[in-house]
Amino acid sequence: MKKQIFAAAIATSMSLPVMADFLGIYAGVDYRTTTTSYNNSESGFEDTNNLSGYVAIEHFIPLIPSAKIKYSDLSAESSDLNGNKTEPSSSALNGILYYQVFDNGLFEVDFGLAYTRVEDLANQTADIGQAYGAAKVFIPGVSMNVFAEVIAGSVTDDEATDAEIGLAYTFNPDSNLMNFAVRAGYRYQEMVINDQSQENKGLFAGVEAHF
């Protein structure tokens, strides 16, 4: 269900009319190769390939936060000693409200709050309130930036961490209509529900469209 909601959000974002100096829409998809462990053990788990993505809407209205939705497929595959395979299925959905506190052409810094829903971790589900932070540092003279993003903290006993760092290259950066970026980096995610934990980490590569 969450995958259908995320796909619908991307399709809707592509059909919206946008005033370039007032409203910006970002939509991205990443392809990931992850190493998965449960309860601090990697035994029996194979490296898997998963998709994750996001849609963000940014504007310049004072006091009203920008918004972002992220979805991560965290499914894994494991084998026992007899070669029997199982595919534990889990996912994380983030709803984020944030403010861009710095944007001076050299770097951007965002801060905000996140609602995280973790599903199917050992057949358990959790809703977690968290803090959000993101930053970009632009490399002078080229259409590249170094980016980092973190969702962490918790107001309950359950916990989740989502951190990534990487490098992006933007094509046609001066366009007021649309531009595209390719990005790659490293991402780490951990979820803990009732003392059951799952860790996913590895490299990713993806594309981002900015309308």
* DSSP H or E segment with residue 132: strand 124-139
* pLDDT (tens digit per residue) in 21-70: 568 999 999 999 999 888 877 666 788 899 999 999 998 888 999 999 99
Q: Domains of the chain by range and CATH?
A: 2-210 (2.40.128)
* pLDDT (tens digit per residue) in 107-148: 999 999 999 999 988 889 999 999 999 999 999 999 999 999
| pTM of the predicted model as reported, rounded to 2 decimal places | 0.85
* pLDDT (tens digit per residue) in 160-173: 999 999 999 999 88
Give the least confident one: 5-14, 173-182, 200-209. Answer: 5-14
